[in-house]
Amino acid sequence: MTERGRTGEQNLTGVWNGLYTYPNGRSTSFVATLIDSGGVLSGTTHEPGLLGGTLYGSVSGSRNGSAVGFTKTYDRPGLLHRKPILYDGTLNGDATEIEGRWTIQKVWSGKFMMVRSGNQAAQVERKAVEPVR
């Protein structure tokens, strides 16, 4: 179950576990925490760095029906992470997966997939209908 807005669209607020794949087949996992405010997306990401440590980023974008698009910008861009990364994907019918392509302008692109963590959607819906005490 997912939270639905006034127009019947799913709310994407929650924690998403993702994987993006480079053209050479190598993959990197990431975690995205999204806030969906009427189709406007914001949030944060974290992922393992290529040279160790953790990379943190900010996300901004939008959702329109099943189309999801956002830009990830690393908080401390280094030589390898200077350019923003554009993500364009499609949300599945029960709002638990987003699948699509990521692109770094004039550099390269690949596939990505994000899965809503655990029972996050049901928790969001339950909080939306619980009475305040």
Give the span between the Cα atoms of 57 and 75, in whole angstroms. Answer: 5
Helix (H) or strand (E) holding 123: helix 120-129
**Distance spanning both ends of the chain, measured CA to CA:** 24
Task: Dump pLDDT digits (tens) for 6-55.
Answer: 344 689 999 999 999 999 999 999 999 999 999 999 999 999 987 888 99
* CA triple 51-54-59, angle to 5 deg: 120
Tokens encoding 30: 């990431």
Residues 67-97 pLDDT 10s: 999 999 998 766 566 789 999 999 999 999 9
Cα-flanking dihedrals φ and ψ of residue 121, to 5°?
Answer: -65, -40
CATH class of 14-127: mainly beta
- pTM of the complete model: 0.80
